[in-house]
Homo-oligomer: A and B are copies of this chain.
Amino acid sequence: MLLMPLLAVAFAAQSPQPARSSPLVTPSTIVEGAPATAWRTVPADRLLLIELADGGRVAIELAEAFAPLHIANIRRLARAGWYDGGAVYRVQDNYVVQWGDGTEKKPLPPGVSTKLPAEYDRESQALALRPFGYRDGYVADVGYADGWPVARANDRAWLPHCYGMVGVGRDLSPDTGTGAELYAVIGQAPRQLDRNITVVGRVIDGMEALTARPRGTKALGFYERPDQWAGIVSVRIAADLPVNERRGYQVFRTDTPEFAAWIRSRANRKDDFYVLPANGLDICNAMPPTRAAPER
Contact = CB atoms under 8 A, between A and B. Distances in A.
Interface string A90-113: 110111101000001101100000
Copies per complex of this chain:
2
Given A189-B282, A207-B93, A285-B188, A174 B275 contact: yes
Given A93-B211, A191-B285, A208-B215, A3 B137 contact: no
A262 B167 CA distance: 26
Name the interface size band of chain A.
35 or more
A219 B176 contact: no
A128 interface: no
B16 A197 contact: yes
Contact of A137 (B2, B134, B181, B277): B134
Interface stretch (A4-12, A38-46, A77-85, A249-257): A4-12
Given A2-B115, A188-B188, A278-B191, A207 B16 contact: no
Contacts of A13: 171-172
Nearest to A168: B16
Nearest to A134: B137
A127 interface: no
Contacts of A222: 11-12
Of A14, A134, A191, which is in contact with the most chain B CB atoms at under 10 Å from its CB?
A14
Contacts of A2: 114-115, 176
Contacts of A278: 138, 191-192, 194
A70 B189 CA distance: 30
Secondary structure dominating the interface of A: loop
A196 interface: yes
Interface in A183-238: 183, 187-197, 207-208, 211-215, 219-220, 222
A187 B137 CA distance: 17
Contacts of A16: 95-96, 98, 167, 169, 183, 190, 193, 197
A269 interface: yes
Given A15-B90, A138-B282, 13 more contacts: A4-B104, A14-B169, A16-B193, A18-B172, A19-B219, A93-B208, A135-B135, A136-B137, A188-B285, A196-B276, A211-B211, A212-B214, A282-B282
Interface of A: 1-4, 6-8, 10-19, 21, 90-91, 93-96, 98, 104-105, 107-108, 114-115, 120, 134-139, 162-164, 167, 169-172, 174, 176, 178, 180-181, 183, 187-197, 207-208, 211-215, 219-220, 222, 266-267, 269, 272-278, 280-282, 284-285
